[in-house]
């Protein structure tokens, strides 16, 4: 067993071979003209931004997508100097010098950005940067997500006219985001698609990339004319956007998607660091809310809400040697306690996410128990959890 820390056994084991498989799976649904961007925002959904970005690029992804300029800079500083990096969220024009310097492609929602960015450069006597660098940007279009972007044809027309005043800005792409590709009324997709087509009429032919596909659109709606870029997020990590499970093994209550062969790339494990037999009546954890009913074997695991294993996850079973073990008492910041079916020694592995024996704590299964989505469970895994990467090439 690889132990990234000599001091604490809690670790996320991330299988890059499985990630390459998921990327190949998406690639099969795409044509040769489409580009695949790996979405690595929020620390690559908790998987570790830099190692995931590097592995995605060596698996053939043509670009990276992040949420913020700070995330983009972190990637540039890690040595990824050439690959296109698209920031999907909106950005403060104050940071224009760094955006240019690091060659980061930004998203704008209107013309205001350019005026304010120019002013910032003028105020700081840096307008000569505009002779050295070009600002690549994509325009967001709001076709029904209601988040960012222009909504009306007239607004896009006005943008197309107004952007002429900023020859240092290169209008490279337009994109939108579908609200219901991963669940919700199906006809909403049709309505958004129609909106997209309408808005496209106002986009000049010189704009190269027109893209709308996240995982769900890439996997399930390939009938629509191809998205020039597929912004692959959750499916790259092997999770289904709708939390469908990969087989019926979890029981009749769970939606299943056997058609898409997505392999979860992350397992979260730790080890028992303390074990004891307590007598009936002994209380466990803060608030003394749990009381042993009989003599019980109680083990302590070094993981808690400070690692992103939230108090709300109290009812999720933890797997030890093929047994489901309940958490007893409340989850602490750094530790939690479980009840074992029998004695297991210190050093025994406990699985929080991943398979063990006949059980499988699939992130999508766990998410449904605690009323959330797998995106949120993995993204919450804090930097304190050591990450171990298997099958780096």
Ligand X SMILES: *Cc1c(COP(=O)(O)O)cnc(C)c1O
Instruction: List interacting residues with ligand X (CB under 6 A).
Output: 39, 41, 88, 177, 214-216, 231-235, 241
Nearer to ligand X, 8 or 41 (CB): 41
Q: CA-CA distance, 224 to 356, in Å (whole number)?
A: 40
Nearer to ligand X, 85 or 336 (CB): 85
For 249, other C-beta atoms within 10 Å of its C-beta total: 13
Q: Which helix (H) or strand (E) holds 191?
A: helix 187-200
The distance in angstroms from the start CA to the end CA of the chain is 20
User: Known catalytic residue: 286?
Assistant: yes
Compute the least distance from the CB of residue 186 to ligand X, in Å: 17
Q: Helices 69-77 and 49-58 sit at what angle, rounded to 10 degrees?
A: 70
- The nearest distance, CB 19 to ligand X, in angstroms, is 14
Residue closer to ligand X, measured from CB, 183 or 326: 183
- Find the largest Cα–Cα distance for the chain: 78
Rounded Cα gap, residues 164 and 184, in angstroms = 39
* DSSP reduced 3-state for 149: coil
CA-based torsion, 54, 70, 267, 10: positive or negative: positive
Of 41, 54, 242, 314, which is the active-site residue? 41
Residue nearest to ligand X (CB): 233
Q: Select 11 or 235, whichever has its Cβ closest to ligand X.
A: 235
Cβ 343 vs Cβ 363: under 8 Å? no
Annotation marks residue 223 as catalytic = no
Q: Which is nearer to ligand X, 215 or 300 (CB)?
A: 215
- Shortest Cβ 43–ligand X spacing (Å): 13
CB of 255 to ligand X, least distance (A): 17
Q: How far is the CB of 349 from ligand X (least distance, A)?
A: 29
Question: Number of C-alpha atoms within 13 angstroms, CB side, residue 321?
Answer: 11
The rounded Cα 321 to chain-centroid distance in angstroms is: 30
Q: Give min distance, CB of 47 to ligand X, in A.
A: 12
Neighbours of 59 (CB within 10 A): 20
**53 vs 64: CA distance, rounded Å:** 7
Determine which one of 188, 212, 286, 313 is catalytic: 286
The pair phi, psi for residue 97, each rounded to 5°, is -65, -45
Q: How far is the CB of 83 from ligand X (least distance, A)?
A: 17
Compare residues 42 and 284 and give the one whose CB is closer to ligand X.
42
Task: Locate 255 and state its tokens.
Answer: 């939606």
Interatomic CA distance for residues 332 and 123, integer angstroms: 50
Q: Name the β-bridge partners of 88.
A: none
CA dihedral 208, 212, 215, 217 (to 10 degrees): -120
- Residue with Cβ nearer ligand X (177 or 314): 177
Q: Which residues are catalytic?
A: 41, 286
């Amino acid at each position: 067993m690889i132990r990234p820390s000599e001091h604490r056994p809690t670790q996320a084991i991330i299988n890059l071979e499985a990630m390459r498989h998921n990327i190949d799976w998406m690639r099969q649904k795409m044509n040769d003209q489409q580009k695949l961007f790996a979405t690595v925002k929020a620390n690559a959904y908790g998987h570790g931004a830099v190692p995931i970005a590097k592995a995605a690029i060596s698996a053939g992804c043509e670009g990276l997508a992040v949420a913020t300029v700070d995330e983009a800079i972190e990637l540039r500083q890690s040595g990824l100097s050439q690959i296109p990096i698209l920031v999907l969220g909106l950005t403060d024009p104050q940071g224009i010098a760094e955006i240019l310097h690091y060659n980061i492609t930004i998203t704008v929602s209107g013309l205001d950005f350019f005026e304010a960015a120019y002013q910032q450069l003028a105020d700081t006597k840096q307008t000569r940067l505009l002779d050295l660098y070009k600002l690549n940007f994509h325009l967001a279009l709001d076709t029904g997500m209601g988040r960012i972007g222009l909504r009306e044809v007239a607004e896009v027309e006005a943008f197309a006219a107004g952007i002429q005043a900023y020859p240092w800005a290169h209008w490279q792409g337009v994109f939108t985001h579908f609200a219901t590709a991963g669940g919700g009324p199906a006809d909403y997709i049709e309505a958004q698609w129609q909106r997209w087509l309408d808005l496209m009429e106002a986009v000049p032919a010189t704009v190269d990339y027109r893209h709308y596909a996240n995982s769900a659109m890439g996997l399930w709606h390939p009938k629509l004319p191809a998205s020039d870029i597929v912004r692959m997020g959750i499916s790259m990590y092997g999770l289904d956007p709708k939390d469908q499970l990969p087989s019926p093994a979890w029981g009749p209550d769970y939606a299943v998607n056997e058609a898409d062969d997505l392999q979860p790339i992350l397992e979260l494990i730790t080890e028992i660091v303390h074990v004891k037999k307590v007598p009936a009546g002994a209380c466990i954890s803060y608030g003394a809310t749990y009381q042993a009913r009989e003599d019980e074997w109680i083990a302590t695991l070094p993981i808690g809400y400070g690692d992103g294993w939230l108090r709300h996850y109290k009812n999720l079973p933890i797997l030890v040697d093929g047994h489901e073990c309940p958490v007893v008492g409340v989850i602490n910041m750094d530790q939690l306690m479980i009840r074992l079916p029998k004695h297991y020694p210190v050093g025994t592995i406990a699985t929080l996410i991943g398979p063990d024996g006949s059980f499988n704590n699939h992130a999508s299964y766990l998410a449904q128990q605690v009323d959330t989505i797998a995106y949120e469970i993995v993204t919450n895994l804090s930097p304190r959890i050591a990450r171990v990467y298997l099958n780096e090439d």
